[in-house]
Amino acid sequence: MIRTLLLSALVAGALSCGVPSYPPGMSRMYGGEEARPNSWPWQVSLQYSSNGQWYHTCGGSLIANNWVLTAAHCISSSRTYRVVLGQHNLYTAESGSLAVSVSKTVVHQDWNSDQVSKGYDIALLKLANPVSLTDKIQLACLPPAGTILPNNYPCYVTGWGNLQTNRAVPDDLQQGRLLVVDYATCSSPRSWGSTVKTNMICAGGDGVICTCNGDSGGPLNCQAADGRWEVHGIGSLTSVLGCNYYYMPSIFTRVSNYNDWINSVRTRPALSPRALPCLPGLGSAMPTWRLRTPSFLLRARWEPLGEGCRPWQLLGPPWVPKISVWVKLSEKEHRGWPCPKRLNTAQAC
């Protein structure tokens, strides 16, 4: 009977967001500490494949059973990714952990890696398969839209990155208590100045605990009045002077600024391969420079238009056909690219 009740309690916790089955230890230990295993069950490790091996690159937060929230700067179009869930030690096989391929990456359309101070450092990863929620894998809550935390509000940053400069990268998940720094303070000349925008949130700056290498994309966890943990921030920026430089708080993407964007991406209808033919008119608008890819095309997330379309005939915001590589083509090549010849008047070429 006791075992049944315990199992029921764990399942109930897994079905709601922001309520870990194993509550985190919330000490104020100087310099951060190892997290209690599985106490941040929405924390994921984003990993990329290289030469047959997987390597941790960033953190992330599970916000639905098939969606992970992370930072845009963590994503490279040339890499293959997976996420590892329910893991405490990245280099130990653990019962209940799970590795799932990423089938789709969606980077915010206004993100520009050459202008990181503008913000928009946010991305969503769609998992190849929905995951089952357990006592070790649970969902994060998102804060209500527009929420601004007050100065000195206590939060916890979690990840497998350094909590201090020149420290060894840990194998076990770490946590550190950070106090929110309000916009007026964080944007002052002695701190980040004009680099900080209102779509960001600052925390830390005590010269001790911070986000560092490997923590990018991970959550800034803040407890709401009802006891649930909400992911208010996504690890984004640290000072070039050092990860834990005094008066230079860690900068996070403020999640409450992007609720509408998150919802729009998650609810965007998937297009059936037979739903649309290749659209006309793309060939006539084709640019003439070889291998010059505009950055806005790299930042957008593309979807196939329909049956017969090649991977580079794409549909992206604002739902118009675009191409991903600019290349000079002969008239003959125009007729066969990007769509094959078809007996259909609504073909692109």
- Cβ atoms of 221 and 156 within 8 Å: the answer is yes
Three-state secondary structure call for residue 126: strand
108 labelled catalytic: no
Of 61, 216, 236, 250, which residue is the catalytic one? 216
* Cis peptide bond N-terminal to 338, omega within 30: yes
Pairing state between β 123-127 and 154-159 = unpaired
**From CA 305, how far away is CA 262, in angstroms rounded?**
22
Of 73, 88, 108, 232, which residue is the catalytic one? 73
Amino acid identity, residue 228? R
Name residue, tokens 């946010």.
122
* Residue 215 CA from chain centroid, whole number: 12
Give one word for 114, left, alpha or beta, with left for phi > 0 and alpha for psi -120 to 50.
alpha
Count helices and strands (H / E) in the chain: 5, 16
Of 88, 97, 108, 121, which residue is the catalytic one? 121
For residue 165 the two structure tokens come to: 């400069």
Name residue, tokens 């984004």.
236
CB atoms inside a 10 Å sphere around CB 30: 10
Three-state secondary structure call for residue 255: helix
56 labelled catalytic: no
DSSP letter at 141 equals B
The catalytic residue positions are: 73, 121, 216
